[in-house]
Amino acid sequence: MVGGNQDQEADDPLPEDVGIFISQADLEEWWSAMQQRYPGIFPEEEKVMKQYPEGTKLMTYFDGDPDKPIRLTILGSKFRNEIPNRKYAFYIVQYKDSEDMCYLHVTAAHEEEWCVGWDAPPPS
């Protein structure tokens, strides 16, 4: 999921967030807690992903439509509360040709519909 809702505008990414990443140890601790809390979503046998570095380009297609590419650049990562008292790991991202920053769930960015690079072929 890219973006957020109006209730979270106070927590929009800031320029000072660029280049700052969750430590891998903190991400692993969060992942382990999520595995305990949501074993159906975070199965015990799945290992935490290694974060993409700053500047990584990601691409997908909105609703699988080859005429609607989404191209993002990773700028950082941070924990934030998506639901009160439930923190989630997010990448701070920027759309291609935009100065606006938003959030992308770290877990979503590592799913198969997201490709590294901006030249992914359209879905068939």
Say how far apart CA 15 and CA 120 lie, in whole Å.
Answer: 28
**Mean pLDDT computed over 6-30:** 85
CB 27 within 8 A of CB 42: no
Say how far apart CA 52 and CA 105 lie, in whole Å.
Answer: 12
Say how far apart CA 75 and CA 106 lie, in whole Å.
Answer: 12
Predicted TM-score (pTM) of this structure: 0.85
For residue range 21-44, what is the model confidence (pLDDT) as tens digits?
Answer: 999 999 999 999 999 999 999 999
For residue range 98-122, what is the model confidence (pLDDT) as tens digits?
Answer: 999 999 999 999 998 899 999 878 7
If you search the block for the tokens 């879905």, which residue do you land on? 123
Task: State in words which class domain 6-116 has.
Answer: mainly beta
Say how far apart CA 90 and CA 78 lie, in whole Å.
Answer: 6
